[in-house]
Each structure stands twice: as structure tokens, then as C-alpha cells.
């Protein structure tokens, strides 16, 4: 599985408010924000330092079942206008399982999908499961059910501003 995890797997969508403005009676297009996205993948490893076990991150050269990978998406507004409601969507990579409650992002609304992005829910995603007696009950969806993670950046991203979002997944 060498370098399989380093592929860029993100999609960035920017919703714009007011892409056009009126001036002199003629509609003119405003410059669009230009959000650049860079994805990095690191492996969490436990090392012993001064008699204590600590978790560090290292480059991914090989993976094995049980390894925890950290996917970090760094965004930068390289354009000349503000990006509003920017959305980053990242699929959970094949061969990995989303680590529940690991998605992070300052000033973001995080949602998850269990159906390849057709529907989105705030975590923990609940689903109906059949009990042994045949009745249904709502339970948190198992980690294996998560297919995509989404972040909507709540604050405007000004030109030159950057930020990051992340999540973790365990190699199957």
C-alpha cells in the first residue's frame, strides 16, 4: 500500500454570494475567489521518550492494518475576493475506516455522509437498526458506514487567508 494514501482526495466547493454587481447599468463579473487546497497524509506512531509513550506523526511510507492516518486539508484563498461558505468534501479512502469524532476544523460546520454524499448529517450520525426481537431503534452508525466528511467554513475567507481541516482514518 505504499504511497496509496498520499493521493489528493478532496473536493473544494465555493458558494458565492453576489458574483455579479451592477455598475453603470451593465452587469460585470467580479473576480472569483481562488481557493487552493493541499492534502497531506501522516501516520500516527507511538514512541517512547523519557520513559513515556507519546503519539507523533510521521510521513507515510508504508501502511499496515490498524495504522491511524491523519488527513489534513490546508486551504488558501489565493484570489482577490472573499470566499463565502467555502465547502471542503473528502471521501473516506477505500481500505480505511473513519475514526469517529476525529474530524476537526476551526470555525467550520462538520457533516458526514453514509451514502457517498447524497445526504449529510451532523455527527454522530444515527441510523435505525433492527434489534434481535425485530423492533427498530436509533443507534449511532458504525464507523465503517461513513463514506465522506464535509466542512463548511462559517467565516468569510479573505484574500490571502488560510486554514486547515482534518480527520483520521484507520487502515483496514
Instruction: List Cβ<8 Å contacts ≥24 apart for 138-147.
Output: 140/100, 141/114, 143/97, 143/98, 143/99, 143/100, 143/170, 144/97, 145/114, 146/92, 146/97, 146/98, 146/100, 146/112, 146/113, 146/114, 147/91, 147/92, 147/113, 147/114, 147/115, 147/116, 147/117
Residues of the chain with pLDDT under 50: 1-11, 13-26
pLDDT at 33: 81
> Grid coordinates standing for 99?
475514526
pLDDT at 64: 95
State if pTM tops 0.85: no
pLDDT at 29: 65
pLDDT at 150: 98
The share of the chain scoring above pLDDT 70, in percent, equals 83
pLDDT at 28: 56
Q: How far apart are CA 45 and CA 52, in angstroms?
A: 13
75-87: per-residue pLDDT in tens? 999 999 999 999 9
**Domain spanning 4-16+31-110+148-171 has what CATH number?**
2.60.40
Domain boundaries, the chain: 4-16+31-110+148-171
Amino acid at each position: 500500500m505504499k504511497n496509496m494514501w498520499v493521493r489528493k482526495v478532496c473536493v473544494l466547493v465555493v458558494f458565492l454570494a453576489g458574483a455579479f454587481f451592477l455598475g453603470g447599468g451593465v452587469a460585470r463579473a467580479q473576480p472569483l475567489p481562488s481557493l487552493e487546497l493541499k492534502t497531506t497524509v501522516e501516520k500516527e506512531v507511538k514512541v517512547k521518550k523519557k520513559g513515556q509513550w507519546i503519539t507523533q506523526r510521521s510521513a507515510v511510507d508504508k501502511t499496515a492494518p490498524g495504522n491511524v492516518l491523519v488527513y489534513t486539508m490546508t486551504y488558501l484563498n489565493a484570489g482577490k475576493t472573499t470566499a463565502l461558505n467555502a465547502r471542503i468534501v473528502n471521501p473516506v479512502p477505500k481500505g480505511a475506516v473513519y475514526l469517529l469524532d476525529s474530524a476537526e476544523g476551526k470555525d467550520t460546520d462538520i457533516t458526514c455522509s453514509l451514502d457517498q454524499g447524497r445526504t449529510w448529517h451532523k455527527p454522530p450520525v444515527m441510523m435505525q437498526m433492527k434489534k434481535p426481537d425485530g423492533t427498530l431503534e436509533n443507534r449511532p452508525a458504525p464507523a465503517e458506514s461513513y463514506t465522506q466528511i464535509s466542512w463548511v467554513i462559517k467565516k468569510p475567507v479573505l484574500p490571502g487567508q488560510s486554514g486547515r481541516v482534518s480527520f483520521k482514518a484507520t487502515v483496514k
